[in-house]
Structure 1
């Protein structure tokens, strides 16, 4: 939609203009504020790419996102399926899962480091822990909302368990699972930056700390903008995936 895209561009331009005006006003009383402006961030971006190996840090962060999401899907979809399918298990596990879901993933940071050491393993754990809950809940909701007539039809045709799962449950819960994945991706991207402050030597979170320690404030702002841009693109990809494979066709 060209009109919608044009409005989006205008909105972003307005935010940048307000940002520039705010920094310009603050810079009159504090010279340091000028380093946080959009122009300074844009000028720092080439050095950030060449000297600080920005692309390598982006790849490290995306790898961790991929591993964390894959672990969350591998654990969350089967767990959500069982919870949605068997009422007794839902009643037994729901209080514990709701309790764990309400604990901030960042609260586990000290325990993760003490248990798994420094490096990637605790980051993977925190990301998987953060992403698993929307996937579990969406999958369980999808199983519970499957049309019982399809289940009865499969059973009347003497379908095996594998056939029921593949031909009835998988198509029936696909939209819900993809919704959970999209929500999980948003949570992952938020948790990623503080999680990458756990003794790793690469990633966008590490780069935030590095630019802060070097007092390279224009580069710090540039990294923040890169994080926002990448998050936007990842969410766009997740939405496109949902509309491609998960959206239900409308019936006239």
Structure 2
């Protein structure tokens, strides 16, 4: 039997070759190019690119804006998705299936089409903008601002968060809440001591994915603001495209710092998960 399994395993391994080739060409090779060129300046090894970035208030502002929007949209998306996923789990089968299908479709609405839709609805002369201003409800809100970008980012974060959190609610047994109620615990107490601790690993993992999704987003922000708002992804694109100066090595250094930031976030997430499991 062992001799029969060995050829089968080799055949299965051979089927992975096309996928490994694709990963090597479109993931490993570009990452390697970025890492190498981030420490190259005029054909010499140097950390000048990183020194220029850390010493520039312009690039520090880009990271600050990206972090603010990514964190704000991830937190808002996570909170809305928690309520949405909990509600979807409690409705009947047909309504749940339709809602999940619509959520799945809306999770693919991002980039330029999403920015265009928001411009039509909430732009300077958007349909909802004119109506809300007539009623006096809009105030000084502008879609072409940090608040507007955060709103757009939150919009495309919510469907993704719902799809990620929805399976996690299967870990909660309805009998637990009934038992807690019989023991005199309120609904708030139940969620504080039972529900949220059970969902915490899924919530942390979802937040990291939403944060990474927002930090790497480019098309929606560029379609809405072009290069008028300072984000890391927009700066990388402008340096590579040569809108002002063609500096691909500086763009590579920005990309490396962005990757390092994401690795740090994942490391923190794993540490928090380990502490959560240890606490249990």
What TM-score, normalized to structure 2? 0.65
Question: 2:31, 2:162 → 1: CA distance?
Answer: 41
CA deviation profile, 1:195-249 (whole Å, cap 9, x unmatched): 442424322123224433222332222222222222222222233333333x487
Given candidates 177, 181, 187, the residue that maps to 1:161 is 187
Residue 94 (structure 1) aligns with: 100
Given candidates 257, 261, 274, the residue that maps to 1:230 is 261
Residue 235 (structure 2) aligns with: 207
Instruction: Tell me: CA distance 1:121–1:208, structure 2 relative to 1, closer, same or farther (3 Å).
Output: same
Residue 152 (structure 2) aligns with: 126
Question: 2:81, 2:32 → 1: CA distance?
Answer: 42
CA deviation profile, 1:142-193 (whole Å, cap 9, x unmatched): 22221344234224325433333333322232222222222222322222x4
Q: In structure 1, list runs of 5 or more residues that go unmatched.
A: 1-13, 24-35
What TM-score, normalized to structure 1? 0.72
User: Structure 2 matches for 1:1-252, cutoff 5 A?
Assistant: 19=33, 36=37, 38-40=39-41, 42-51=47-56, 53-87=58-92, 90-114=96-120, 115-116=122-123, 117-191=143-217, 193-197=218-222, 198-199=224-225, 200-211=228-239, 212-213=242-243, 214-245=245-276, 247=277
Question: 1:17, 1:208 → 2: CA distance?
Answer: 14
Contact 2:71 2:211 in 1 (8 A): no
Question: 2:186, 2:38 → 1: CA distance?
Answer: 63
Instruction: Tell me: CA distance 1:209–1:102, structure 2 relative to 1, closer, same or farther (3 Å).
Output: closer
**Matched residues, number:** 221
Cα deviation, residue 78, structure 1: 1.0
Residue 126 (structure 2) aligns with: none
Q: CA RMSD, aligned part only?
A: 3.2
Q: In structure 2, list runs of 5 or more residues that go unmatched.
A: 1-27, 124-142
Contact 1:84 1:90 in 2 (8 A): yes
Question: 2:148, 2:119 → 1: CA distance?
Answer: 6
Contact 2:103 2:163 in 1 (8 A): no
CA deviation profile, 1:61-100 (whole Å, cap 9, x unmatched): 1011111112102211111111123336524522221221
Question: 1:206, 1:17 → 2: CA distance?
Answer: 19
Question: 2:72, 2:63 → 1: CA distance?
Answer: 14
Helix, strand or coil at the partner of 2:114: helix
